[in-house]
Structure 1
Amino acid sequence: MKFIIKHEVKGRLRIHVIRNRMTCAEADILCWTLEKQKDITSVKVYERTADAVIYYTGDREELIGRLRKFRFEKEDVPENVISSSGRALNSVYREKLIAKVLLHYGGKLILPNPIRKIWLTFKAVKYIGKGILCLARRKIEVSVLDATAIGVSVLRRDFNTAGSVMFLLGIGELLEEWTHKKSVGDLARSMSLNVQKVWLKREEQEILVPSSDIMPGDTVVIHMGNVIPFDGEVSTGEGMVNQASLTGESLPVRRTKGQSVFAGTVMEEGELEITVRAVSGSTRYEKIVTMIEDSEKLKSALESKAEHLADRLVPYTLLGTGIVGALTRNVTKALSVLMVDFSCALKLAMPIAVLSAIRQAGQLGITVKGGKYLEAVAEADTIVFDKTGTLTKARPTVKEIVVFGDYPEPEALRIAACLEEHFPHSMAKAVVDAARRRKLYHEEMHSKVEYIVAHGISSYIDGKKAVIGSSHFVFEDEKCKIRGIYQEKFDTLPEEYSHLYLAIDGELTAVICIEDPLREEAKDMVQMLRTEGISKIVMMTGDSERTAASIAERVGVDEYYAEVLPEDKAGFIEKEKAAGRKVVMIGDGINDSPALSAADAGIAISDGAELAREIADITIATEDLRGIVMLKRLSDAMMRRIQGNYKGIVSINGALIALGVAGLIQPTTSALLHNTFTLAISLRSMSGLLPEK
């Protein structure tokens, strides 16, 4: 690639690519390629000027050498990098905005007055037509008000006022459409699939392979709690599939042999073998965009209230115009009321404020599925935390393996990893990682695996039943025993660790001791949430009373509950809601799914179970729990901005109406000031709610 260095300081380089103009696709390719480099911390590519700003930490000459070797046509860029980057969308709307401004002011300077009047009359027909259609539906909404204002101005031959009103309405519509599409696109991209590996069925064996290796016609196995990564047809098995991400249905649907399943849905119960029909991810992205655009989830209660209030105010504005005209016998003063309406600003600014908050949340690594969930977080007074993988670190580690039978320690760990690797939970990952570190690789040695939510796993190895899970599951549900000679050894298990019990053929085989360290920031996060207005902080866990009490004391929660089942968590949340409290639930496992659904806002930690992320209303990708505090602050800031918009719209527009009725300003000035204010408050609503660090 040929380029020149336009400017540089230590660690920062601004280059200009020598070509007539860089396309959006080329800008995306260059940006993606540079961002992959380990010594490059940040890249900004400007396609209009063919410039790129590169922040780096490595050797300058090495970077320049890589830039010289770069070729657009040789880079193997994933399909979705270009198709869903949003760069082309921004470019299109920037050009539309510039064209509209140039056309409006250029028309004033270039077009002869008679031709300009004909042109503006022709433009006015569109707005008047919308108003007539609205009346034909027996509704009096904002389009009627716009049509009346523009129509009266044209009839009075006040083309400057009519032109200004139509120009500012057009700018407002364009900005709203741009912001909405960009926010929806950002949200959809953050919700798109990111499945790295899948279980491929080959010669009666399940093999974990990269998802990119899968071809149409292959058979993949989907276990409970996992996302279905491809469109396909069920070849074997039976399961309940959660399709909320595509259809909005809250209840899972039953899927059996011969029925279709779709990428992005989640196996809630059971297990399916699927013959892959399509491997492209673009259809999933398009489905998500459609779902978001059609979904009422994007609208907070205040946003919906603004829309309804905007339409309800239209008749009063028309009535006020008539009353002022009748009392003053002055058409100019009556038009001053007509030119200023509250509805336009209400209907435009509120959705933009909500979508901007969702977009900024995305920049903070937080995916929010709708404005009403931000509103729920802002109003929350109770937060319920799961312990494992949430308050504690998401990557617990195996510290010790205590054996109680005929299987040596390596073999016990190998069997445990073989069972646990099928299910996404932080404890399971710890066991699998421990086996991998010891190079204890294995062929699948068990029969079909059954997962019992919040309890454990059951299967058969060499005809013997093997179970792994909690003490309650192994000893009470499965009635497993401890050989008498090992009782003392069992009684002296290290208390500082969480315990995972493995039993084979009805006898305890091994206890895997797992250290699940508390996140360093957990205590600070709890205190910060109290400062932000959360009055009740609760921890719930399926772990033992001893472990739960220790963690609760160190974190500083108000209440804790140990050895709880999934239905207990959901039941607690329902009880709190019935008492009039607004509840947020934060979890990461399959067993947290009922509670996440029950809460006013369910928050999932991103490296937890896929089912939890799919069901949750908000997903936090950051490793630092203080992201929850940032979410609370962002939600509060959104509510303050919306309330501020309300007050600003009422006070400014009220003042303009008073000035118009008093005869101090003309309708043209009134319309210009009203629309300028509407545009200003909308642009303010687009800005970030929290200061950038």
Structure 2
Amino acid sequence: MKFIVKHEINGRLRIHVVQKRMTYTEADTLSWFLSNQKNVTDVKVYERTADAVICYVGDKEEVLNLLKQFSYENAILPEHVAAGSGRELNAVYQEKLVMKTVLHYGSKLFLPMPVRAVITSVKSVKYIWHGIRCLMHGKIEVPVLDATAISVSVFRRDYATAGSVMFLLGIGEIIEEWTHKKSVGDLARSMSLNVNKVWLKRDEQEILVRSSDIEPGDHVVIRMGNVIPFDGEVVTGEGMINQASLTGESLPVRRTVGQSVFAGTVLEEGEIEVLVKAVSGSTRFEKIVTMIEDSEKLKSSVEGKAEHLADRLVPYTLLGTGAVWLLTRNITKTLSVLMVDFSCALKLAMPITVLSAIREAGENNITVKGGKFLEAVADADTIVFDKTGTLTKATPTVKEIVAFSEYSENDLLRIAACLEEHFPHSMAKAVVDAAKERQLSHEEMHSKVEYVVAHGISSSIDDKKVLIGSSHFIFEDEGCTIPSEYQDRYDSLKPEYSHLYLAIEKQLVAVICIEDPLREEATEMVRDLKKAGIRKVVMMTGDSERTAAAIAKRVGVDEYYAEVLPEDKANFVEKEKAEGRKVIMIGDGINDSPALSAADAGIAISDGAEIAREIADITIAADDLREVVTLKLLANAMMKRIHKNYRNIVGINSGLILLGVTGIVQPTVSALLHNASTLMISLGSMKNLLDENKRTELE
């Protein structure tokens, strides 16, 4: 690629790409390519000027060489990046705003008054018709008020006032539409598939391959708790599939041989083999956008209340207008009331505040599936944490393998890894990673694998039943025993580790000791959550009482519960809600899914089980739990801004009505000030809620 360096300082370059015109796709491609380079920390590409600003670390020559080697043809832009880019959307709406402003003020400067009067009269027809249609449906809502104000101004030949009202209403409509579409697009991208590897079935063998290598006609195996990555048809097995991401149905549906399954749905129960029919992800993105736009997911109750209140205020505004006319018989004072109403600002500012909060959450690596969930976080006073993979690190490691048989440690680890690699959980990943580190080959040597939620895995090897899981699963559910000669060894297991039990033919053969280190930020996060308004912090885990007590003491939770099952977590959440508390649940595993569904706001960790992320209302990145605090502060700030907007709208508009009735300001000025204040409040609602100053309020 040919380019010119326009400006440079240490760690920052501004270049100009030598080409006639840069398309949106080319700008996205260049931006994506540079942002994925390890020495590039930030990049902005401006398609209008074909410029790029690149922030980097290390040697400048490395960046220049990357740019020299770059070509649009060789840098293949991922489909989900291309489909979800907001670059073209932003450019289109920026142009709309500029054109509307230029045309409005340009006509005032260059067109004679008779021509402007005709243009204003023609434009007013749309608003007047909307008002008439509203009345025809038996409703007295905001369009009626807008139509009345505009039609009275046109009737009085006050074309300047009518034009200003329509201009500001049009600007507001563009801003609202822009913000809504951008928020919907961001939300849809965050919900798009991100399945990296799948189990390909070939010659009766299962091979773990990249999802990008799958082609139509291939057979893939999907097990319980996993997202179905492709559209296809079930050829073996049956399962219960959660299709909420596409249809909105909360209950799973049964799918068996010969029936279709769709990308993005989740297999809640069972195991199926799917004949792949389509591998493209673009239709998935389109389906999600449609679903979000057609649903009420984005609506919070405060948005609904604002719209409802706005519509309810319209008749009172009209009555107030009539009362002023009857008392004063002064058309100017009467119009001053008509030109000012509370409805526009209420209907415009509240949704923009909520959608902007969702956008800002995305900028902080937090995916929020709707405004009502942010409101639930703001109202929450109780938070429930799963332990493993949530309060503890998502990358536990195998520290020791204690044998209770003649099998070698490597053989025991090989067996465990062969079973565990099929299921998404941090403990399972630790076992698989340990086998890789020892370079142990653990190709498929077992029969069908059965996963028992929150308990363990059952299969058979060489016609021998093999079990791996919790002590409850191994000893109580399956009735396995400890060889008598190894009892002392069992009694001396180190309590600071989490234990995974492996049994063959009802006999314990190994205990895998896994270090489950506490996140460094966990204690600070709990303290900051309490400062942000959380009154009760609870930890729930399937681990032993001894392990749970130690973690709870270090973290500083108010309550903890050990050896709990998935239904126990969900029941606890329901009990807290029944007592009048607003509850947040945070987890990462399949066993957390019932509680995530039951909570007022369910939060999943981004690298946890796919079904947890699908069911959860909010997803946070796994890198730092302090994002939970950021989420709480953001939700609090959203509600604070909404209440502030209410006060400002009521105060400003009441003042304008008073000034108009007393004759201090003319209707034209009232209309201008009213619409200007509405626009300013709406623009203010688009600003980020959390800046560096606000983030320090906890420090």
The TM-score bracket by the shorter chain reads: over 0.9
**Alignment-mate amino acid for residue 131 of structure 1:** G
Looking at structure 2, the residues matched to 65 and 476 of structure 1 have their Cα atoms a distance apart, in angstroms, of 63
Q: CA deviation at 1:75?
A: 2.0
The aligned counterpart of 1:492 is: 492
Looking at structure 2, the residues matched to 287 and 441 of structure 1 have their Cα atoms a distance apart, in angstroms, of 41
Paired residue secondary structure (1:496): coil
Q: CA deviation at 1:106?
A: 1.1
Answer whether contact 1:40 1:58 (CA < 8 A) is retained.
no
Q: CA deviation at 1:495?
A: 1.6
The aligned counterpart of 1:44 is: 44
Looking at structure 2, the residues matched to 74 and 488 of structure 1 have their Cα atoms a distance apart, in angstroms, of 63
| Aligned pairs for 1:45-60 within 5 A | 45-60=45-60
Looking at structure 2, the residues matched to 622 and 407 of structure 1 have their Cα atoms a distance apart, in angstroms, of 36
Looking at structure 1, the residues matched to 545 and 390 of structure 2 have their Cα atoms a distance apart, in angstroms, of 18
Paired residue secondary structure (1:207): strand
The aligned counterpart of 1:672 is: 672
**Alignment-mate amino acid for residue 443 of structure 2:** E
**Alignment-mate amino acid for residue 153 of structure 2:** S
The aligned counterpart of 1:569 is: 569
**Alignment-mate amino acid for residue 439 of structure 1:** Q
Q: Given the alignment of the two structures, is residue 482 of structure 1 paired with residue 482 of structure 2, yes or no?
A: yes
Q: CA deviation at 1:18?
A: 2.3
The aligned counterpart of 1:24 is: 24
**Alignment-mate amino acid for residue 242 of structure 2:** N
The aligned counterpart of 1:690 is: 690
**Alignment-mate amino acid for residue 653 of structure 2:** N
Q: Given the alignment of the two structures, is residue 519 of structure 1 paired with residue 511 of structure 2, yes or no?
A: no
**Alignment-mate amino acid for residue 615 of structure 1:** I
Paired residue secondary structure (2:73): helix
Q: For each residue in 1:343-381, what CA deviation from the matched residue of structure 2 results, as whole angstroms up to 9, or x when unmatched?
A: 000000000000000000000000001111111111111
The aligned counterpart of 2:88 is: 88
The aligned counterpart of 2:641 is: 641
Looking at structure 1, the residues matched to 329 and 163 of structure 2 have their Cα atoms a distance apart, in angstroms, of 26
Q: CA deviation at 1:107?
A: 1.3
Q: CA deviation at 1:8?
A: 1.1
**Alignment-mate amino acid for residue 216 of structure 2:** P
Looking at structure 2, the residues matched to 62 and 592 of structure 1 have their Cα atoms a distance apart, in angstroms, of 46
The aligned counterpart of 2:113 is: 113
**Alignment-mate amino acid for residue 334 of structure 1:** T
Paired residue secondary structure (1:457): strand
Looking at structure 1, the residues matched to 58 and 187 of structure 2 have their Cα atoms a distance apart, in angstroms, of 33
The aligned counterpart of 1:184 is: 184
Q: For each residue in 1:388-409, what CA deviation from the matched residue of structure 2 results, as whole angstroms up to 9, or x when unmatched?
A: 0000111100000011113211
Looking at structure 2, the residues matched to 34 and 533 of structure 1 have their Cα atoms a distance apart, in angstroms, of 41
The aligned counterpart of 1:171 is: 171
Answer whether contact 2:80 2:192 (CA < 8 A) is retained.
no
Paired residue secondary structure (1:297): coil
Answer whether contact 1:239 1:255 (CA < 8 A) is retained.
yes
**Alignment-mate amino acid for residue 32 of structure 1:** W
| Aligned pairs for 1:30-429 within 5 A | 30-429=30-429
Paired residue secondary structure (1:628): helix
Paired residue secondary structure (1:72): coil
Bigger mean CA offset, 570-579 vs 109-118: 109-118
Bigger mean CA offset, 592-601 vs 491-500: 491-500
Q: Which runs of 5+ in 2 are unaligned?
A: none
Looking at structure 1, the residues matched to 346 and 112 of structure 2 have their Cα atoms a distance apart, in angstroms, of 37
Looking at structure 2, the residues matched to 263 and 62 of structure 1 have their Cα atoms a distance apart, in angstroms, of 40
Paired residue secondary structure (2:274): strand
**Alignment-mate amino acid for residue 548 of structure 2:** A
Looking at structure 1, the residues matched to 391 and 290 of structure 2 have their Cα atoms a distance apart, in angstroms, of 35
**Alignment-mate amino acid for residue 65 of structure 2:** G
The aligned counterpart of 1:626 is: 626
Residue correspondences, number: 693
The aligned counterpart of 2:583 is: 583
Looking at structure 1, the residues matched to 21 and 40 of structure 2 have their Cα atoms a distance apart, in angstroms, of 24
**Alignment-mate amino acid for residue 430 of structure 2:** A
Q: For each residue in 1:245-300, what CA deviation from the matched residue of structure 2 results, as whole angstroms up to 9, or x when unmatched?
A: 11111111111111111111111111111111110111111111112112212111
Paired residue secondary structure (1:296): coil
**Alignment-mate amino acid for residue 402 of structure 1:** V
Answer whether contact 2:237 2:273 (CA < 8 A) is retained.
yes
Looking at structure 2, the residues matched to 21 and 663 of structure 1 have their Cα atoms a distance apart, in angstroms, of 56
**Alignment-mate amino acid for residue 68 of structure 2:** R
Looking at structure 2, the residues matched to 557 and 66 of structure 1 have their Cα atoms a distance apart, in angstroms, of 49
Paired residue secondary structure (2:297): helix
The aligned counterpart of 2:553 is: 553
Answer whether contact 2:230 2:263 (CA < 8 A) is retained.
yes
Q: CA deviation at 1:417?
A: 0.5
**Alignment-mate amino acid for residue 577 of structure 2:** K
Bigger mean CA offset, 604-613 vs 104-113: 104-113
Paired residue secondary structure (1:162): helix
Q: For each residue in 1:143-198, what CA deviation from the matched residue of structure 2 results, as whole angstroms up to 9, or x when unmatched?
A: 11111111111111110001000000000000000000011111111111110000
The aligned counterpart of 1:615 is: 615
Answer whether contact 1:365 1:622 (CA < 8 A) is retained.
no
Answer whether contact 2:80 2:189 (CA < 8 A) is retained.
no
**Alignment-mate amino acid for residue 506 of structure 2:** G
Q: TM-score, normalised by structure 2?
A: 0.98
Looking at structure 2, the residues matched to 530 and 447 of structure 1 have their Cα atoms a distance apart, in angstroms, of 49
Q: For each residue in 1:580-627, what CA deviation from the matched residue of structure 2 results, as whole angstroms up to 9, or x when unmatched?
A: 111111111000001001111001111110101110001001411111
Looking at structure 2, the residues matched to 529 and 539 of structure 1 have their Cα atoms a distance apart, in angstroms, of 14
Answer whether contact 1:540 1:569 (CA < 8 A) is retained.
yes
Looking at structure 2, the residues matched to 376 and 495 of structure 1 have their Cα atoms a distance apart, in angstroms, of 38
Looking at structure 2, the residues matched to 369 and 137 of structure 1 have their Cα atoms a distance apart, in angstroms, of 33
Answer whether contact 2:17 2:51 (CA < 8 A) is retained.
yes
Paired residue secondary structure (1:466): strand
Paired residue secondary structure (2:48): coil
Paired residue secondary structure (2:201): strand
Looking at structure 2, the residues matched to 46 and 40 of structure 1 have their Cα atoms a distance apart, in angstroms, of 17
**Alignment-mate amino acid for residue 331 of structure 2:** V
**Alignment-mate amino acid for residue 214 of structure 2:** I
The aligned counterpart of 1:655 is: 655
Answer whether contact 2:417 2:442 (CA < 8 A) is retained.
no
Q: CA deviation at 1:74?
A: 3.1
Looking at structure 2, the residues matched to 671 and 372 of structure 1 have their Cα atoms a distance apart, in angstroms, of 33
Looking at structure 1, the residues matched to 416 and 169 of structure 2 have their Cα atoms a distance apart, in angstroms, of 65
**Alignment-mate amino acid for residue 506 of structure 1:** K
Looking at structure 2, the residues matched to 631 and 218 of structure 1 have their Cα atoms a distance apart, in angstroms, of 41
Paired residue secondary structure (1:268): strand
4+ residue segments displaced more than 4 Å: none
Q: CA deviation at 1:72?
A: 2.1
Answer whether contact 1:366 1:622 (CA < 8 A) is retained.
no
Looking at structure 1, the residues matched to 283 and 676 of structure 2 have their Cα atoms a distance apart, in angstroms, of 41
Answer whether contact 1:226 1:609 (CA < 8 A) is retained.
yes
Looking at structure 2, the residues matched to 211 and 636 of structure 1 have their Cα atoms a distance apart, in angstroms, of 40
Answer whether contact 2:394 2:622 (CA < 8 A) is retained.
no
The aligned counterpart of 2:596 is: 596
**Alignment-mate amino acid for residue 649 of structure 2:** I
**Alignment-mate amino acid for residue 241 of structure 1:** I
Q: Which runs of 5+ in 1 are unaligned?
A: none
Answer whether contact 1:337 1:657 (CA < 8 A) is retained.
yes
Paired residue secondary structure (2:411): helix
Looking at structure 1, the residues matched to 436 and 607 of structure 2 have their Cα atoms a distance apart, in angstroms, of 19
Answer whether contact 1:589 1:612 (CA < 8 A) is retained.
yes
Looking at structure 2, the residues matched to 80 and 192 of structure 1 have their Cα atoms a distance apart, in angstroms, of 8
**Kindly, what percent of the aligned residue pairs are identical?**
75
Q: CA deviation at 1:21?
A: 2.9
**Alignment-mate amino acid for residue 167 of structure 2:** F
**Alignment-mate amino acid for residue 98 of structure 1:** V
Q: CA deviation at 1:476?
A: 1.0
The aligned counterpart of 1:531 is: 531
Looking at structure 1, the residues matched to 111 and 687 of structure 2 have their Cα atoms a distance apart, in angstroms, of 36
Paired residue secondary structure (1:165): helix
Q: TM-score, normalised by structure 1?
A: 0.99
